[in-house]
A and B are shown apart, each in its own frame.
Chain A
Amino acid sequence: RKEVEQDPGPFNVPEGATVAFNCTYSNSASQSFFWYRQDCRKEPKLLMSVYSSGNEDGRFTAQLNRASQYISLLIRDSKLSDSATYLCVVKSSNTGKLIFGQGTTLQVKP
């Protein structure tokens, strides 16, 4: 079983749609959680950290459920520029490693 699992998609949605990505992780000792965004042929960039209380940054909302070992990202009012691959990332407190999911591809269509 992969340490961090995501549905690879692709998710094809129209502009203005709301889309949600899910991620599960296997190591209960994980301590830090992030969503990264990677555009085609570019480096991954931090989108937002994920906190147990849930956090919001504009149109983006991240949630963490430690009991279920589940992380989500909600994007409201999708823009064409949101088209990218979204990577779920977990930091292990055991090893200190950042473990990346394989990413979920989002394509927003006009």
Chain B
Amino acid sequence: DTAVSQTPKYLVTQMGNDKSIKCEQNLGHDTMYWYKQDSKKFLKIMFSYNNKELIINETVPNRFSPKSPDKAHLNLHINSLELGDSAVYFCASSQDSIRPEAFFGQGTRLTVV
């Protein structure tokens, strides 16, 4: 059983397109995240949701819009893709503030051409 699963694993698309990445966790965790890992390997948080409520929204272009239909799902929609959006996007979840360690999905490698 995959604890945190995200789809697709690879995504190649043209500039200007709109795309979505889906994430689901079956751990019963309250908090979910989106992270971006760029070519220099820095992992930076983009968004965090707790029980479907947005709690962290970093300085991310508003072309990126997260959606959490329930606490087990956190999807990421990206409008008008740009070359600089190329990166690996990781979804993660954590139980709560008492057990804050995060568990990651396998990542979505996005390439914008």
Pair A96/B48 contact, Cβ less than 8 Å: yes
Instruction: Indicate if A107 sits at the interface (CB-CB under 8 A).
Output: no
Instruction: Indicate if A91 sits at the interface (CB-CB under 8 A).
Output: yes
Instruction: Indicate if B34 sits at the interface (CB-CB under 8 A).
Output: no
Instruction: Indicate if A46 sits at the interface (CB-CB under 8 A).
Output: yes
Q: Which B residues touch A43, using CB under 8 A?
A: 90, 104-107
Interface residues in A77-110 by Cβ distance below 8 A to B read: 85, 87, 91, 95-100, 102-103
Interface SS majority for chain B = strand
Q: Which A residues touch B43, using CB under 8 A?
A: 44, 87, 100
Pair A96/B45 contact, Cβ less than 8 Å: no
**A-B contacts at CB below 8 angstroms, number:** 44
Instruction: Indicate if A42 sits at the interface (CB-CB under 8 A).
Output: yes
Q: Known contacts A42-B106, A91-B100; is A97 also within 8 Å of B40 by CB?
A: no
Q: Known contacts A87-B43, A102-B41, A103-B41; is A96 also within 8 Å of B97 by CB?
A: yes
Docked Cα-Cα span, A47 to B93, in Å, equals 16
Classify chain B's interface size. 20 to 34
Q: What is the number of residues of chain A that contact chain B, defined by CB distance less than 8 Å?
A: 19
Question: 7 pairs across A/B with beta carbons < 8 Å?
Answer: A43-B104, A96-B48, A96-B55, A97-B48, A98-B33, A100-B42, A100-B43
| Residues of chain A at the chain B interface (Cβ within 8 Å) | 32, 34, 42-46, 49, 85, 87, 91, 95-100, 102-103
Q: Which B residues touch A46, using CB under 8 A?
A: 101-103
Q: How close is A68's CB to chain B, nearest CB, in angstroms?
A: 22
Docked Cα-Cα span, A85 to B42, in Å, equals 12
Pair B104/A44 contact, Cβ less than 8 Å: yes
Docked Cα-Cα span, A99 to B45, in Å, equals 8
